Amino acid sequence: AADNWADLEARVGRLLIPDRTIKRHMNHYYDELIEVAEQPAHAAAWNDFDDEDAVDAIPRWNVVAHIVLPSLSRASILGQRGSMRARATRLAVALRLFAKQHEGMPPSRLDELLPGLPAEDLIDPYSGEPFRYDRRGSAWRFYGIGENYIDDGGKGGAEPEELDHVVRFPPPAVESFEPVADESASE
């Protein structure tokens, strides 16, 4: 009977050790991710966090960690992107309200929006510096450096990780949409 208990204990141990190892790999990865995510985007250096290297360090047999862990860093990046969009939206609304209260003229500097807007909303989360702002008459533009951490001079990209995050008023003109004639219908 003692041999049966020892055999059972050995089998249970073999089952639990991989679970502990999986948990250890996930905790290590998650701890690194938390360390980067707790910092402001401009200090976090997401460019230094190599998701692929971190996942490659996990043994191939740990399939659960290989599947789950990359989505954690993606969630943090999306959180930073959401923070940028929220600040930009609040800043754009504050600019529009200011202009409405001042005969259509926006402020000459963003700090004129204080104290009606929290000071942190004037800061680009990716650079840690104030948003770049310029105005021409009643038109205005501000931008933050965006996810590539490079000041591209206020040039926006098609994707959030490209170029700068630009907000302007009035918005740029949209090209007219002309439907393409269906060639098969004319035959």
Please write the tens of the pLDDT for every residue from 70-112.
Answer: 666 677 777 788 888 889 999 999 999 999 999 999 999 999 9
Q: What is the CA radius of gyration of the chain?
A: 26
| In contact, 68 and 26? CB cutoff 8 Å | yes
| In contact, 137 and 146? CB cutoff 8 Å | no
With a cut of 70, say whether residue 45 has pLDDT above it.
Answer: no
With a cut of 80, say whether residue 15 has pLDDT above it.
Answer: no
Q: How many helices (H) and strands (E) does the chain have?
A: 4, 3
Q: What angle do CA 149, 151, 155 make, to 5 degrees?
A: 115
Greatest CA span in the chain, whole angstroms? 92
Q: What pLDDT is attached to residue 51?
A: 58
122-162 pLDDT, tens digit per residue, is 999 888 899 999 999 999 999 998 887 888 888 887 776 67
Confidence of residue 184 (pLDDT cuts 50, 70, 90): low
With a cut of 80, say whether residue 164 has pLDDT above it.
Answer: yes
Sheet holding 139-144, edge to edge: 132-136, 139-144, 165-169
Question: Distance between CA atoms of 72 and 14, rounded to whole angstroms?
Answer: 28
Provide φ and ψ at 41, rounded to 5°: -55, -40
With a cut of 70, say whether residue 42 has pLDDT above it.
Answer: no
| In contact, 151 and 164? CB cutoff 8 Å | yes
| In contact, 45 and 61? CB cutoff 8 Å | no
